[in-house]
Amino acid sequence: MPPPIPTTDQSVSLLALKAMLRDRTVLSALEVFNHQLGDIFQITLPGFKPVMLAGPEAARFVLVTSRDDLRWRSEGDPVTALLRHGVLVEDGDLHDWLRRSMNPALHKSMMAKYVETMRCAIDRVCRDWQDGDIRDMLVEMRRAALLILMETLFKVDFAPEMRRLWQPILKSIQFISPGLWVLWPDTPRPGYTAALRRLNQYLYQMIAARRAAPGEPDDLLGVLIATPGMTDDLIRDQLLTMLIAGHDTSTALLSWSLYLLGKHPAAMQRARAEVDTVLGSAAPSMETLPDLLFLDRVLHEVLRLYPPIHLGSRRAAVDLEFQGYTIPAGTRVMYSIYLTHRQPAYWPDPKGFDPERFTPENSRSRQPYTYLPFGGGPRNCIGALFGQVETRVVLARVLQQFDLVLTRDHVHAHMGATLEPRPGVFMRVRRRQ
C-alpha cells in the first residue's frame, strides 16, 4: 500500500489560518502547508480535494514527464464554460492544431511591428494623466493592455468600446476567478449572462467584419480566418481566450511592477536612469529593448514574487505516482508556481525584492524548473514573448515620461483569474520636465 498523501491536521491548519489572516491571502496558508507537509500535499475541503504540488521536481513531473496523463480540460469548470474550445482548455490533437494555427501571429518576427502599436497605446493612456493626479495603476495598466491586445492581435481600435465593454470583460474574469463555486460547483451563478452576451456579440461582429474584408493575414484574427476548417465558433473561442489570457496577465505584471518600484525608490531611480541613458526621448524598439538590462531584472523579480498565473490546474487521466505517493485518476492536480518561486532552498530571503538575483552571474547556477513564470514544456505560455516585449515597452514609456509616487503603501495579493495587487496601485503622477 502506498502511503497516503500528506494532508493538514489541526495544528497545521491553525498555523495556516494565522498566516492567512496576517497577510490577507490564501497563498500564505499554502506556504505554511508546503513548509510543514512537503512538495506534495492534499487539501481536504468539503467538495474540493486537490493535490497540490510545488518545487522543481513537481514542476518537471507536471509539465514534462507526466504531461500526457494530465488533462487541462475540466468539464464543468467555469473556465471551460467560458472559453468552450479555446486552446487553453483543450487537449490532444485539437489543442495542437489550434496552437499551431496561432503560433505565426505570436512569432518573434511579428514583434517589431507590434512594438510601435504598443508604444502608441500606452501613450494614449498616459495622455489622460494630469500633473498631480492620483491614478490606480491596476486600472491604467488594464486600459493599456486591452488597447494593445486588441490592436496588435485583432487589428481593432478598442478605445471607442472601452467604456461599454469594461464591465463585461471584468465580469467574465470574475466568472472564472476562484469563488464559492470551487466548493459548491452546482451553486447557481446569476448575473453573468448579459455580460457574456455583450462580449460574444462584439467578437462575432468582429469575425464577420473580417470575413467580409479579410486583407493580409498579419495578425491573429487574420491568421485564424485564413486557417481552413476554423469555424466562427472556434475563432470566437480563441479570441476570447487570447483576450482574457493575454491582457489580464500583463495587467497584473505591470501593476505589480509599478507597485514594487514605488516601494523601492532606489530601484525606480535606477530603472529610470537606465531608460534615459538607453532611450533618451526615443521610442523603445526591438533593437533598444535588450539594452534595458536593469528593467529586465526588475521584471524577472516581479514575476518571481507575484507570478500572474500562480497555479497550473490539471486533472489526472490515470493513476499517477509522485515521490512514492499515488494520485488517483480523476484527482484535480495543481502545481504552484508561486510556492516554487518562494522556496528558501532555491531563493535566499525569498520574500525580499532583489532584482540582482537575475544578473547573468547569479542566474547561471539556477536549478531548472525553480523559475517558471511562463510555465514550461510544450504547453508553456504561447504569449510569453509578446508579454515580455509589451511590459518592457509600457514600463519604459511610463518611466520616460512620468515621476510616480505610491500614495497607498499596502496591497495584498488577490487570487482572481490572475494574482492582482488589491485594492489597487494608487500613484501620484507628474510629467517629467
Q: Within its chain, how far is the Cα of 186 from the centroid?
A: 27
Q: Is 50 in the site for ligand HEM (CB under 6 A)?
A: no
Number of shown-chain residues binding ligand HEM (CB under 6 A): 24
Q: Long-range contact list for 110-116, CB < 8 A, 24+ apart?
A: 110/218, 111/286, 111/385, 111/386, 111/389, 112/285, 112/286, 113/218, 114/148, 114/152, 114/386, 114/389, 114/390, 115/284, 115/285, 115/286, 115/289, 115/389, 115/393, 116/283
Considering only the stretches 15-23, 248-256, 290-298, 320-328, report the one whose residues sit in contact with ligand HEM under the rule CB under 6 A.
Answer: 248-256
Q: Is 241 in the site for ligand HEM (CB under 6 A)?
A: yes
Q: Are 83 and 89 in contact (CB under 8 A)?
A: yes
CB of 357 to ligand HEM, least distance (A): 17
CA 126, 127, 131, 135 dihedral sign is: negative
C-alpha cell recorded at residue 296? 529586465
Q: Is 88 in the site for ligand HEM (CB under 6 A)?
A: yes
Q: Is 379 in the site for ligand HEM (CB under 6 A)?
A: yes
CB of 103 to ligand HEM, least distance (A): 10
Considering only the stretches 135-143, 186-194, 257-265, 381-389, report the one whose residues sit in contact with ligand HEM under the rule CB under 6 A.
Answer: 381-389
Q: Are 424 and 139 in contact (CB under 8 A)?
A: yes
Per-residue x/- mask for ligand HEM, residues 312 to 341, rule CB under 6 A?
x-----------------------------
Q: Are 334 and 313 in contact (CB under 8 A)?
A: yes
CB of 263 to ligand HEM, least distance (A): 20
Per-residue x/- mask for ligand HEM, residues 271 to 290, rule CB under 6 A?
--------------------
Helix (H) or strand (E) holding 284: none
C-alpha cell recorded at residue 263? 516601494
Instruction: Write the DSSP symbol of residue 229.
Output: T
Q: How do the residues of the chain divide into helix, strand and coil, expressed in percent and rounded to 5?
A: 55, 10, 30
State the burial class of residue 265 (Cβ atoms within 10 Å of its Cβ: 0-12, 13-18, 19+).
exposed
C-beta closer to ligand HEM: residue 12 or 60? 60
Q: Is 253 in the site for ligand HEM (CB under 6 A)?
A: yes
Task: Rule CB under 6 A: choose which of 143, 387, 399, 420 binds ligand HEM.
Answer: 387
Q: Is 114 in the site for ligand HEM (CB under 6 A)?
A: no
Q: Is 374 in the site for ligand HEM (CB under 6 A)?
A: yes
C-beta closer to ligand HEM: residue 31 or 237? 237
Q: Is 138 in the site for ligand HEM (CB under 6 A)?
A: no
Binding site for ligand HEM (CB under 6 A): 87-88, 99, 241-242, 245-246, 249-250, 253, 307-309, 312, 373-375, 379, 381-383, 386-387, 391
